[in-house]
Amino acid sequence: MTTPTVTKGKSAAAQTKDASAPVVAAGSEAAVKPINRREFLYYIWGASMAVFLAQTAGAIIWFALPRFREGEFGGVFSIDPATVPAVGATPVANPTGKYWLSNTPNGVLALSMVCTHLGCLFKWVDATGRFECPCHGSKFEEDGTFIEGPAPRSLDRFAVRVVTPTGAIESDASGSAVKIDGATRIEVNTGRKIKGAGAGEA
Ligand code: FES
């Protein structure tokens, strides 16, 4: 049997009251303490870092994803090789992709529909076998090479990629024509425009 301990200076009733009072842990007192300057700055720094990392991650995802979907201007257009005109035949216009698909003896080219003079839309003229601009009369070969007129350069080109069972061939930095022998798919990248050579240049 244990004997109750009586604290000197307090009555038994007072001691009973103390025992029934809620116990406040030392740690709890610390939790309700207002944060000091150092802690405040630490939290601000942590929040700033979190915002910075979120923005960085968002930017990386934004640049990693293609901006344009396939089949819309700015994106890639997939072409069935069976629909490509024969070599030397009338080029085929793609108004959505804003290019003329021209099949020359050197291969396929995707020529921008916009005249390099002041931006009019030129046309293919069967009678002359060349592109002619109705605005100021600039004329271009079937591969976009400048012939005459006020245009400062040959027609601009879009990058072409020809996929075959053994690999893919792409136009070079100048937007060269690509042969389509054995192609299973042709891709025109309207997000990659290559400026035509200056008028009079090869
Ligand atoms: S816009 Fe084509 S020749 Fe001027």
Q: Are 181 and 162 in contact (CB under 8 A)?
A: no
Residues 173 and 124 in one domain: yes
Q: Phi, psi at residue 111, to the nearest 5°?
A: -95, 130
State whether the beta carbon of 153 lies less than 6 angstroms from ligand 1: no
pLDDT of residue 61: 82
3-state SS assignment for residue 15: helix
CB atoms within 10 A of CB 84: 17
Low-confidence stretches of the chain (pLDDT beneath 70)? 1-31, 66, 202
Q: Is residue 200 part of a domain?
A: no
- Tell me, yes or no, whether 55 and 123 share the same domain: no
What is the predicted pLDDT for the residue at 9? 46
120 lines ligand 1 (CB under 6 A): yes
Is 105 found in the same domain as 59?
A: no
Residues with Cβ within 8 Å of residue 18, at least 6 apart in sequence: 10
Tell me the C-alpha to C-alpha distance, in Å, between residue 80 and each of 104, 162, 185.
Answer: 17, 11, 6
Report the nearest atom of ligand 1 relative to the CA of 149.
Answer: 3
Residue closest via CA to ligand 1's atom 1 equals: 118
pLDDT at position 29 is 53
Distance from the alpha carbon of residue 120 to the mean position of ligand 1, in angstroms: 6
CA of 154 to the centre of ligand 1 (A): 12
Q: Which residues pair with 161 in a beta bridge?
A: 170, 187
- Same domain for 58 and 144? no
Q: Looking at the structure, do residues 137 and 175 belong to the same domain, yes or no? A: yes
Alpha helices, H only, the chain: 12-20, 26-31, 37-64
CATH number at residue 182: 2.102.10.10
Residue nearest to atom 3 of ligand 1 (CA): 136
Number of domains in the chain: 2
Looking at the structure, tell me whether residues 45 and 122 fall in a common domain: no
**196 Cα: distance to centroid of ligand 1 (angstroms):** 15
Range of the domain at 129: 76-194
Helix or strand or coil: residue 96? coil
State whether 119 and 84 are in the same domain: yes
pLDDT given for residue 37 in this prediction: 85
In the chain, % helix, strand, coil (3-state, to 5) comes to 25, 30, 50
> Rounded to whole angstroms, how far apart are CA atoms 72 and 74?
6
Query: Looking at the domain assignment, is residue 143 inside a domain?
Result: yes
CB half-sphere exposure, 197, CA atoms < 13 A: 14
**Closest alpha carbon to 80 in 3, 183, 192:** 183
Is residue 23 included in any domain, yes or no?
Answer: no
pLDDT for residue 202: 58
